[in-house]
Structures are given as C-alpha cells and as structure tokens.
Amino acid sequence: MAQNSPARRVPSHGVDLFGERYAIDFVAVDRRRRTADRRDWRTIFATEPPERFRGFGLPILAPADGVVVAVHDGEPDHDGRRSQLALVPYALGQAGRLRQGVHAIAGNTVTIELRGRAAFVSLAHLRLGSIRVTAGDAVAVGQPIAECGNSGNSTEPHVHLQVMDRADPAHAEGLPLAFRSFTEWRPGSAPPSTVDSGIPGEGSIVEPTG
C-alpha cells in the first residue's frame, strides 16, 4: 500500500529534508489492507514486535539497474506502533532524531547510482543485518538486495524509496520519480487499473505486472 505518495502532495512527507521531496513509502498489506497478522491489547495500548507485521523480513529488490554507491547498516529494528498511546512519545522524540542526522531518520539504507542517469535511488528502513550488497556492486532490476525492516524513523515495517540528485541525502535535492507497469487498486470499490507509467495514489494497493 502506497503511503506519503507524491501524487497527493509535495513534499511528500511534509518536510523537504534529506532529498525526500518526492519520496514514497510502501507498506505490505493483505487484501483487507491489514498490515499485521493480529490485533490484541498491545495494538491499543503498547508497542508491537516488528515480526508480527506482514512486511518485516520481506525481500527488497533493486528498483533499477545501477551501481551501489553507499550502504549503511547497524541501526536496530524498532517495535511497531499502531497505538495512539505509543505514538505520542514517539512523536515527541522526532526533533531529537532529526538532530542525530540522516541515519537516525533513514535507518539502514542502500543507495544506487542509476545507470545512464545523473540520479541516485535510496531505499531506507531496511532490516538490520539483511543487506546483501556492498558499495561498488552492480545490481540489476529485480535483484534481492536486502529485507524490509523497521529501522530509523519508522512506526511500522515498510520500505521508503526516493530519488535524489546526489548520493549523500544530507546534501541532496529530491527528484521526481515514476514506476513502470503496475496494477493499482485505489481506495474504495473501483476495479483495478493497469498503469504503464505513473505514481500510485495515496492509499492505493499496487502489484507489479509483467
């Protein structure tokens, strides 16, 4: 499910920092739009282990051909937070995470220089210890490079994707992006549509075609 989509607003995450002007988040869900396999007292009153969320540990694939130029690992995977009670102290800690810099926000990351383009794609919030590539590796679209995690500034496991004009997000400007060949289920009861090139809408469920 697409969240913080630039199809809804720009800057997509409400702030224009760290090259994320056109960034988008993808959260694994089932057909009923559920992100986790259960609900219990922790869902309402506390935090939840990341393992109960559908996205945690799913393979993350290279979105384009290119060369890995930066990898960061070592950030822990946090508990998930669906509870409003648990989200309050998390929100209060946002300013502190910003002061800590890029890695406190992005968590574990892989950054790829796109082949034939003056642009870089960065994938963030990856699972601790799951990154399979190192700087200098050539990667092909669809190649497994890591697993979905909940590191950095993340309330539940998901992958954050952005395209930038330089490799270092601390000094980068975000660039517009688009995805090829996907099926999109928009919120509501409308039938799915096939998109040749575009950006998923906010709350849309998407699957690749072909």
Q: How far lies 60's CA from each of 44, 122, 130, 131, 143, in Å?
A: 29, 12, 10, 9, 8
Residue 92: per-residue pLDDT: 63
- List Cβ neighbours of 176 (8 Å cut-off, separation of 6 or more): 6, 22, 163
In this predicted structure, the answer to whether residue 42 has a pLDDT above a threshold of 80 is no
Whose tokens are 């690749």? That residue is: 208
What is the arithmetic mean of pLDDT over 6-20? 93
In this predicted structure, the answer to whether residue 140 has a pLDDT above a threshold of 80 is yes
**Distance, CA of 49 to CA of 55 (rounded, Å):** 12
Listed residue (60, 42, 154) closest to 112, CA to CA: 60
Residue 82 pLDDT class (50, 70, 90 cuts): confident
Dihedral of the alpha carbons of 181, 185, 190, 196, in degrees to the nearest 10 = -10
The alpha carbon of 169 is separated from its chain's Cα centroid by a whole number of angstroms, namely 15
Residue 116 pLDDT class (50, 70, 90 cuts): confident
* Residue count of the chain: 210
In this predicted structure, the answer to whether residue 1 has a pLDDT above a threshold of 90 is yes
Helix runs in 93-175, H state only: 94-100, 102-106
What is the arithmetic mean of pLDDT over 36-65? 90
Residue 41: per-residue pLDDT: 78
User: For the purposes of burial, counting CB atoms within 10 Å of the CB of 70, is it exposed (0-12), middle (13-18) or buried (19 or more)?
Assistant: middle
Whose tokens are 């945690």? That residue is: 56
**What is the rounded average pLDDT for all residues in the chain?**
92
**Distance, CA of 139 to CA of 136 (rounded, Å):** 9
Q: How far lies 77's CA from each of 105, 141, 172, in Å?
A: 12, 26, 25
Question: Which of 6-10, 12-16, 79-83 shows the lowest mean pLDDT across its residues?
Answer: 79-83
Query: Which of 80-84, 101-105, 151-155 ranks highest by mean pLDDT?
Result: 151-155
In this predicted structure, the answer to whether residue 31 has a pLDDT above a threshold of 90 is no
User: Which has more confidence, 102 or 148?
Assistant: 148
Q: pTM of the entire structure? A: 0.92
**Distance, CA of 57 to CA of 51 (rounded, Å):** 8
What is the arithmetic mean of pLDDT over 165-169? 95
pLDDT digits (tens, 9 = 90+) for 180-191: 999 999 998 779
Domain annotation for the chain: domains and CATH numbers:
2-208 (2.70.70.10)
Residue 101 pLDDT class (50, 70, 90 cuts): confident
In this predicted structure, the answer to whether residue 104 has a pLDDT above a threshold of 80 is yes
